[in-house]
């Protein structure tokens, strides 16, 4: 998610030449939605308790996942 933004917008303008809307490709739009969903999940979980990597691996081994 730390990839640089590489949008190729096209603008719709009014009679005065003022930008009123933007058009982006579907893949660019879907990538933006995915990034927004990721950021929302991060924000929702910011107050959760954290665990060390070692403890996480121990939990996975205890559960039989690893």
The predicted structure's pLDDT at residue 66: 87
pLDDT in tens, 2-53: 556 778 999 999 999 999 999 999 999 999 999 999 999 999 999 999 999 9
Q: Any idea how long the chain is?
A: 66
CA dist 29 → 4, 13, 47, 49, 61 (Å):
15, 20, 29, 33, 39
In a domain, 51, yes or no: yes
The predicted structure's pLDDT at residue 6: 79
Counted domains in the chain: 1
**Secondary element (H or E) of residue 33:** helix 26-44
In a domain, 35, yes or no: yes
pTM for this one? 0.60
* d(C-alpha 56, C-alpha 15), whole Å: 59
Domain ranges, residue 57: 10-63
In a domain, 4, yes or no: no
């Amino acid at each position: 998610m730390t990839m640089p933004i590489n949008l190729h917008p096209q603008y719709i303008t009014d009679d005065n030449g003022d930008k009123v809307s933007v058009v982006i490709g579907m893949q660019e739009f879907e990538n933006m939605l995915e990034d927004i969903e990721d950021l929302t999940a991060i924000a929702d979980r910011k107050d959760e308790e954290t665990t060390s990597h070692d403890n996480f691996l121990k939990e996975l081994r205890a559960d039989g996942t690893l």
